[in-house]
Amino acid sequence: MNVETLFALCACALVGIGLYGLIVQPHPLRKLVAFNIMGSGVFVLFGALAKRGAAAGMAADPVPQALLITAIVVAFAATAVTVAVLLRLIESTATASLANEPPSGE
Amino acid sequence: MTTLLSLVVALLLLWLALWTVVARDAFVAVAGFVVYGLLLSLVWVRLAGIDVALTEAAIGGGLTGALLLGAVGRLRGTEAAAAAERSGAGTRAFAALLSLGVTMVLALCVLALPEPAPTLAPQAADNLPATGVGNPITGVLLAFRALDTLLEAIVLVIALLAVWSLAPDRFWGGRPGPRYAADPDGVLSYLARVLPPIGIVVGLYLFWAGADHPGGKFQSATILAAMWLLVQMAGLGDAPRIDGRWLRTGIVVGPLAFVAVGLLGAWQAGAFLGFADGWAKPMIVVIELALLPTLVLVLALLLNGAPARNSGKMPAGDGGR
């Protein structure tokens, strides 16, 4: 098996692992970490496709690789916004619960 | 030999991901995620993406890790309550089945990919000389797919606005985060005095080398932002007030210069973000120079978070410095 197929299959498993954590973990921060793992699985899959596109003396297709750099930066920005929302949630309700009924006392 | 190394990296990556997802403690999970980010950079090297590896190590592992570690510290008290909401066995079994199904479908797609793989590498190689840069990734980011990069810069500014807008009204215009105070003779203060000069040189080198070698403005901006954050955390400097005029100018200068270059292209070359013959390299340098302060400021301020204090009751016009 070549490197790109190996990591493409690995990426499929990463998406699955991230999805599991996203559903199972109750704490929003844990969901965020799991979602980031799921996202990184998508990135690795895309990177493996870039590696498959090696041609014209280049070790990989530069177009998907450039889009990956953009994607990583945007993922960081989205994570930062989510963390800020989460911290504000705790500040105003003193809990990080995502349960349906509002926490008592506030 | 190389396949064996890749196999070990892949297995380690899967194990770390699983460990991060099922760990009992949020701090352990985040620590695992930081290591996972570093290991992911190795995967990018194996996949021949040195530029992606640098970005992943700097932003995916470094900045995201720092952000999550900071959040864990402030979320300590809420973990016990969340543990009480732990999903039941039924939910977990359903989630496991669903995840397995998604993985299987994706894996089947991977195994059924067309041969030979579609690629844009020949087109990129043919047109790269016209841009005057030697690194194909930089060529794609700033010439062939410049619109993506412009939108990305705008997304970053919008994300920062979203974070700021979460501030309570009374702190609007104030400074984000706590004022850090570290032992002036401690190792943190020492590092914050010694590292920034080196970090600034490395950051600027990566910025300039990005034209022809792996590197570029994102990796460079992350290092420069990290140096600024280090100075803040050692208490040697404070986070800026978010209503500073210079700060706000620095944040919007990148996207504005990018749009201006795009309009110049519309006039000169007949297409938004098009470059006339011989103008590509100077225009790319202008865009990169304008984007650098924007990226440094936005990355650092995203980590700083929403304004959380007013430094003194300041009358209008007093900068509060």
Residue B246's domain spans which residues?
A: 123-321
Q: For A3-93, CATH number?
A: 1.10.287.3510
Residue B82 lies in a domain: no
Q: Please, what's the b/e burial string for B122-153 (b: 16 or more CB within 10 A of its CB; e: otherwise)?
A: eebbeebeebbbebbbbbbbbbbbbebbbebb
Per-residue pLDDT reduced to its tens digit, B131-152: 777 788 887 887 788 888 888 8
Ranges A58-62, B60-64, B108-112: which has the least confidence:
A58-62
* B172: number of Cβ within 10 Å: 14
B139 and B69 in a common domain: no
pLDDT band at B314 (very low <50, low <70, confident <90, very high): very low
Per-residue pLDDT reduced to its tens digit, B233-246: 888 888 888 888 88
Domain boundary among B73, B98, B131: B73
Whether B317 has a pLDDT exceeding 70, the answer reads no
B258 and B183 in a common domain: yes
Q: What integer pLDDT is reported at residue B160 of this predicted model?
A: 92
Q: What is the ipTM of this complex?
A: 0.88
* Chain mean pLDDT for chain B: 83
Q: Are residues B152 and A70, on separate chains, in Cβ contact within 8 Å?
A: yes
Residue B96 lies in a domain: no
Domain count, chain B: 2
Task: Give the residue extent of every domain in chain A.
Answer: 3-93
State which residues of chain A have pLDDT below 50.
103-106
B83 contacts on A by Cβ (under 8 Å): 26-27
User: Closest approach of chain A CAs to the CA of B185, in angstroms?
Assistant: 32
Domain boundary among B41, B73, B105: B73
Q: What integer pLDDT is reported at residue A41 of this predicted model?
A: 93
pTM of the model: 0.87
What's the rounded Cα separation, in Å, for the pair B251 and B300? 11
Whether B315 has a pLDDT exceeding 60, the answer reads no
Per-residue pLDDT reduced to its tens digit, B267-301: 887 778 777 777 778 888 888 888 899 999 999 99
pLDDT band at B1 (very low <50, low <70, confident <90, very high): low
Nearest CB among B86, B103, B166 relative to A85 is that of B166
Mutate which of B14, B33, B43, B298 to test chain A, going by most A C-beta atoms within 10 A? B43
Q: Are residues A65 and B137, on separate chains, in Cβ contact within 8 Å?
A: yes
Question: What is the residue type of B267?
Answer: W
Per-residue pLDDT reduced to its tens digit, B158-202: 999 999 888 887 888 788 877 777 777 888 888 888 888 998 998
B313 and B244 in a common domain: yes
B319 and B185 in a common domain: yes
Residue B99 lies in a domain: no
Residue B112 lies in a domain: no
B282 and B152 in a common domain: yes
Retrieve residue B152's tokens.
């990305």
Choose between B29 and B216: higher pLDDT.
B29
Beta bridge partners of B307: B176
- Provide φ and ψ at B296, rounded to 5°: -60, -50
CA distances from B18 to A3, A27, B218 (A): 22, 17, 29
B183 and B55 in a common domain: no
Domain boundary among B32, B47, B73: B73
Ranges B60-69, B95-104, B260-269, B308-317: which has the least confidence:
B308-317
**By the 8 A CB rule, do B75 and B69 touch?**
no
**By the 8 A CB rule, do A7 and B107 touch?**
no
B128 and B24 in a common domain: no
